[in-house]
Amino acid sequence: MKILNINKGIRGYIIDDDKFRGCSIAVVLRLPLKRETVTRNALIVNVLGLGSKNYPSPMQLNRAAEEMFGGGLECVNVKKGDSQLLEFYAEVINKDDNIKNALYIMREVIFNPLIENGGFRKDYTEREKTALRLSINSIKDDKREYAKTRLTEEMFGGEPFGVFGDGYAEDIEKITPETLYDGYRDIIKTAEIDIILVGNMCVENVCRYLAEFDKGERYFPEESVSANKVTETRRITEDMDITQGKLCMGVRTCADYYPLLAANEILGGGSDSRLFMNVREKEGLCYYITSSVVRCCKSIIIQAGISKKDLDRVIEIICRELREFYNVSDEEIEGAKRNIIKHYTASEDVLGSISDFCMGGILGGEVYLPKDGAEKIKNTAAADVRNVFKDTFPDTIYFLRERD
Amino acid sequence: MKISARQLQNGTKCYIIYKKDWKMKEAMFSVNFGSADDSVIPGTAHFLEHKVFEQKDMDVFKEFSSKNASVNAFTNFNTTAYYFICSDFFEENLKTLLKFTAEPFFTDESIEREKSIISEEIKMYEDDPWWQVYFNLIGALYSQNPVRNNIAGSIGDINRIDRSILTECYKKYYCGENSALVICGDLDADKTFDMAERLILPEQGEKYEKKKFSDGIESHRTVKKMAVSRPIFNLGFRESDFDTSPAERVCATNILLNIMFGKSSDFYEKMYLSGAIDKDFSMEYLLGEGFGAGILSGASDSPDNVAQAVYDRIAYIRKNGISDYEIEGSRKQLLRSFFLGLDIMEKVVAGQTDFAFKKTSYEDIYNKYIGITKKEVMNRLDIFDRDDSALSVIEPA
């Protein structure tokens, strides 16, 4: 792996692996997740994706992309931890021309936008305002995701992670093509820009192409935020016209990332986890039950699809498993470590996963390759894993309740 | 990457996909029996998938987990597949895979318990509008073919399933002639074939004849109300001529779809900028055994207007044809997806399994993309007949 410092806050990460046929290219504008700017930023990446100065419409841009590198350019807004990522991503076949052309089109889209009268194009701005409004309104369509979003909002309100990554409908209206362009000029200067390439490529050539990302003057403000404190479990219930209730529980810990990852794996990682065994296999109370780690908040989120008649029983089992977690056996810990290492090893075979892991490392300020993550988890002490849920309890329990 | 094929002694079709330097290894054992082949009660193939994991003296999940492997399974229209992924202990894991799929142990008690788990699974899908809109479409496109049933069946269906039905279906479909084993990784092909021969394999059995169905459209429009923020739709065109080779069906239809409705089309730009469709507008070609369909999907305030625009677009292409330039762009786009798909082990293995039963191959598909003619692409317009189409809509409740 090679790390290039291209300009202040602009870095290239080149992970050369010739077992792949393809190469993934991600240019990521990284911004702090904030209530005031999240909506505007989400809109910016979508408007940029409609066309640039030289390719001023979706058809022209997509035709050029198709012709030059086989197309498939994605311009998306992603919430990752407590950051907002404006991501420009493509996977191409490993021909030098494809990589060069994809980077060229991405530079074009990011740095050479279509501007009219001191703002973005009015019709494009309006189109994307409508699209964003609809997309925000549609969060209720995926009930499982909606329950998680609501839990996140309730549990982490006031912290960056509690900010809704797609933005807020009520902030859309006042945005104009001009204010949007002001926002664009701001983020082009302030965003950290990470360019991650994974796959089969000529590193020397790629370094040359990346040098062309050396753009203008840049500065970085610094801020910090503290976490919410909890004293007792909060329970929130909402009714909806659905067939199956969606339970979502959040638990805060004080644990470091790797012990937390191992403990989460044992608790609700896969089909041999304690929750899966006890809630599904032993008592047949659900089809899915999983837990996942929120790295930036040292927390886990447990999700299950259940009937409301079983709600109390399911919560009881989950709380019991948290309480009795300290007694996990050495075999369970070793098994969990093996599972995680397996997961890391598996991600070494997938372009997008390596790229994603690298981004996670950039945010966590640590390791950039899956194999280094595997090393960390291998060296995690069993005692640290056992202590992860010591003195913890569910911070927030959210239940999206089904009709009778 | 190199694919070697051999039929094992018991009749199982075996494929080894060699991937140099890859860390992981995967094996998928599958039978050519899915929800569209359910002859008894809808949901039987899927129910069997759950119960095959039940063993007399082994916890399958723990067994794989102790050998650094993860195991999973799925049921689709024509296939039930069981697979594991691991980085080491490959032979032991392969042994476990073949053993547990060859020796399931059904008890009345565990079958009853499974009903409550599958009921929750069915309910989970009932709350998924994209799943609902898709299966409502399939139900509208086919009046007879069991592909129209939900993969897991309904709660009423599964309550009728018992041990004798599972045992009967298992015996009929889980046999050598009706199965495939696909293995992928940095492995020596000959040694791996020999390894597979030594392990427990299903008995030879008989290849059964799939029933043929003479289908008509069940209905041209189906609407369901759900808790969604705006209407979502699937517009499908039912294919009825299956004489063309699978490779040509796949390649020519995908190219035609991309030219007519893809991101680089005039249609997409107009429809997107006018607000008629969103970025999630997408299209797919569904290749099945004895069925096939071109499907467009998306969200829109007025699915009927989108459908009309689609019909108009088809009529326009029928009249004006397509250009070499458009074919070239689409070919480049689709070859990119084709090759990138080969970089994802799970995709290659699932793809090869699918091809094994549908009698085509990666090589056929690649060659067809390279050699495709304008005439072949235009021939696929035959599918896109309004009389053979159906629109499925989920409306906000």
B376-386: pLDDT as tens digits = 999 999 999 99
With a cut of 80, say whether residue B90 has pLDDT above it: yes
Residue B200: pLDDT above 70? yes
CA A105 to each of CA A21, A73, A102, A380, B168: distance values in angstroms, whole numbers, following the listed order: 21, 9, 5, 43, 58
Q: Count CB atoms within 10 A of the CB of residue B303.
A: 26
Task: Give the model's pLDDT for residue A191.
Answer: 93
CA distance B158 to B112: 10
Q: Is A59 on the interface with B (CB under 8 A)?
A: yes
Residues A252 and A321 in one domain: yes
pLDDT tens, B249-279? 999 999 999 999 999 999 999 999 999 999 9
- Classify residue A45: in a domain, yes or no: yes
| Rounded distance between C-alpha atoms, residue A62 and residue B39, angstroms | 46
- Report d(CA B238, CA B240) in Å as an integer: 6
Q: What is the distance between the alpha carbons of residues B193 and A117, in angstroms, rounded to a whole number?
A: 68
A19 closest CB neighbour out of B20, B126, B266: B20
Position with higher pLDDT, B318 vs B289: B318
Q: Is residue A224 part of a domain?
A: no
Q: CA-CA distance, A400 to A248, in Å (whole number)?
A: 8
Number of domains in chain A: 2
CATH of the domain at A102: 3.30.830.10
Whether residue A344 lies inside any domain: the answer is yes
Name the residue facing A270 among B70, B339, B397 (closest C-beta): B70
Q: What is the spatial distance between Cα A393 and Cα B64, in angstroms, rounded to a whole number?
A: 32
Burial tier of A181 (Cβ tally within 10 Å: 0-12, 13-18, 19+): buried
- Sheet strand arrangement including A394-401: A234-239, A394-401, A245-252, A299-306, A289-294
> Considering the domain boundaries, does residue A222 fall inside one?
no
**Rounded to a whole number, what is the distance in Å from the CA of B135 to chain A's nearest CA?**
17
| Rounded CA separation B95/B198 (Å) | 9
Choose among B2, B389, B366: nearest CA to B184. B2
Interface test with A, best of B63, B297, B301, B340 (most A CBs within 10 A): B340
- Partner-chain residue, chosen from A57, A69, A346, that has the shortest CB–CB distance to B24: A346
For residue A186, being part of any structural domain is answered with yes
Which pLDDT belongs to residue A222? Answer: 57
The verdict on a CB contact (< 8 Å) between B332 and A271 is no
Nearest to B120 among A72, A242, A244 (CB): A244
Q: If you measure CA to CA, which chain A residue comes closest to B345?
A: A349
Q: Where does the pLDDT of residue A223 fall: very low under 50, low under 70, confident under 90, or very high at 90 and above?
A: low
Q: Contact, A93 vs B339, CB < 8 A?
A: yes
What pLDDT shows up at residue B345?
A: 93
Residue A141 with chain B: CB contacts under 8 Å = 129, 227-229, 232
Categorize the per-residue pLDDT at B41 as very low, low, confident or very high, splitting at 50, 70 and 90.
very high
DSSP B226-264: ES-SS-EEEEEEE-----S-HHHHHHHHHHHHHHHHSTT
pLDDT (tens digit, 9 = 90+) per residue, A230-250? 778 999 999 998 989 999 999
Task: Please list every residue in chain A whose beta carbon sits closer than 8 Å to the beta carbon of residue B23.
Answer: 345-346, 348-349
pLDDT-derived band at A81, boundaries 50, 70, 90: very high
CB-based contact, A342 to chain B, within 8 Å: yes
- Residue B353 has a CB neighbour count (10 Å cut-off) of 22
Alpha-carbon torsion (B261, B264, B265, B268), positive or negative? positive
pLDDT higher at A90 or A220? A90
Mean pLDDT (chain B, rounded): 94
Given pLDDT bands bounded at 50, 70 and 90, which one contains residue A365?
confident
DSSP letter string over B49-101? HHHHT--SS--HHHHHHHTTEEEEEEE-SS-EEEEEEESS-HHHHHHHHHHHH
The answer to whether A342 touches A265, Cβ cutoff 8 Å, is no
Q: Which residue has the tokens 């085509």?
A: B360
In a domain, A223, yes or no: no
Indicate if A48 and A146 belong to the same structural domain: yes
Q: What is the pLDDT of residue B385?
A: 95
Contacts of B320 (CB under 8 A, 6+ apart): none
Q: A180 and A248 in one domain?
A: no
Closest chain A residue by Cα to residue B71 = A271
pLDDT digits (tens, 9 = 90+) for A40-63: 999 999 999 999 999 999 999 999
Is residue A227 one of the residues assigned to a domain?
no
* A266 vs A302: CA distance, rounded Å: 13
Q: Do A141 and A172 fall into the same domain?
A: yes
Which three-class secondary structure state does DSSP give residue B350? helix
User: What value does the mean pLDDT of chain A take?
Assistant: 93
* CA–CA separation, B269 and B280 (whole Å): 13
Q: State the residue range of the domain holding A13.
A: 2-211
Q: What is the ipTM of this complex?
A: 0.89
Decide which of 3.30.830.10, 3.40.47.10, 1.20.1240.10, 3.40.50.300 is the CATH code for B2-198: 3.30.830.10
Burial class of residue A391, CB neighbours in 10 A (0-12, 13-18, 19+):
exposed
Q: Is A69 on the interface with B (CB under 8 A)?
A: yes
Closest CA to B71 of B79, B87, B80, B82: B82
Report which of A333, A328, A323 is spatially closest to residue A391, judged by C-alpha positions.
Answer: A323
DSSP notation for B167-195 = HHHHHHHSSGGGEEEEEEES--HHHHHHH
Residue B29 falls in which region: left (phi positive, over 0), alpha (psi -120 to 50) or beta = beta
pLDDT at residue A268 tops 80: yes
How high is the pLDDT of residue A134? 93
Q: What span, in angstroms and rounded, lies between the C-alpha atoms of A318 and A107?
A: 49
CB contact under 8 A, B68 and A342: yes
Q: What is the model's pLDDT at position A218?
A: 73
Residues of B in contact with A123 (CB under 8 A): 273
What residues in A contact B337, CB-CB < 8 Å?
72
Query: Domain end: A176, A211, A246, which one?
Result: A211
Q: What is the pLDDT of residue A224?
A: 55
| Percent of the residues in chain B that have a pLDDT greater than 70, as a whole number | 99
Is residue A388 included in any domain, yes or no? yes
pLDDT interval class at B20 (50, 70, 90): very high
Sign of dihedral through CA atoms B145, B151, B157, B162? positive
Q: B185 forms bridges with which residues in the sheet?
A: B18
CA nearest neighbour of A203 among A7, A9, A17: A17
The two domains B2-198 and B221-396 share their CATH topology (first three levels equal): yes
Percentage of the residues of chain A whose pLDDT score is greater than 70? 97
A131 touches chain B (CB under 8 A): yes
Task: Give the domain ranges of chain B.
Answer: 2-198, 221-396
Does pLDDT of B242 surpass 80?
A: yes
Q: Collect all residues of chain B within an 8 Å Cβ-Cβ radius of residue A69.
A: 336
Task: Tell me whether residues A66 and B329 touch, CB distance under 8 A.
Answer: yes
Q: If you average pLDDT over residues B186-208, what whole number do you get?
A: 88
Q: How far apart are the C-alpha atoms of A191 and A111, rounded to whole Å?
A: 13
Which A residues 171-230 touch B at CB under 8 Å? none
pLDDT at B213 over 90: no
A242 shares its domain with A205: no
B25 pLDDT above the threshold of 70: yes
Q: Give the C-alpha separation, B270 to B309, whole Å.
A: 10
Nearest Cα to Cα of residue B217 among B232, B243, B236: B236
Among A211, A246, A265, identify where a domain stops: A211
Do A185 and A238 lie in one domain? The reply is: no
State residue A230's pLDDT score: 72
Contact across the interface for B124 and A244, Cβ inside 8 Å: yes
Residue B282: strand pairing partners = B297
Within this chain, do residues A159 and A259 fall inside the same structural domain, yes or no? no
Residue-level length of chain A: 404
Maximal C-alpha separation, chain A? 67
Cα dihedral B224, B122, B237, B209, rounded to 10, equals -140
What are the backbone angles phi and psi of residue B70, rounded to the nearest 5°? -115, 145
For A284, the closest of B21, B116, B345 (CB atoms) is B116
| Residues 6 or more apart in contact with residue B236 via CB below 8 angstroms | B137, B138, B140, B141, B293, B294, B295, B296, B389, B390, B391, B392
**A178 and A241 housed in the same domain:** no
State how far residue B130 is from chain A, nearest Cα, in angstroms: 9
Is it the case that residue B369 has pLDDT exceeding 80? yes
Phi then psi for residue A35, to 5 deg, are -55, -40
C-alpha B109: how far from its chain's center?
31
Q: Are residues A203 and A248 in the same domain?
A: no
- The CATH architecture of the domain made up of B221-396 is 2-Layer Sandwich (3.30)
Q: Best interface-test mutation with A: which of B119, B343, B345, B362 has the largest number of A CBs within 10 A?
A: B343
Q: Are residues A191 and A157 in the same domain?
A: yes
The residue count of chain B comes to 397
Same domain, A257 and A342: yes
Residue A293 structure tokens:
């780690």
pLDDT at residue A39 tops 90: yes
Residue B203 or residue A25, greater confidence:
A25
pLDDT at A231: 78
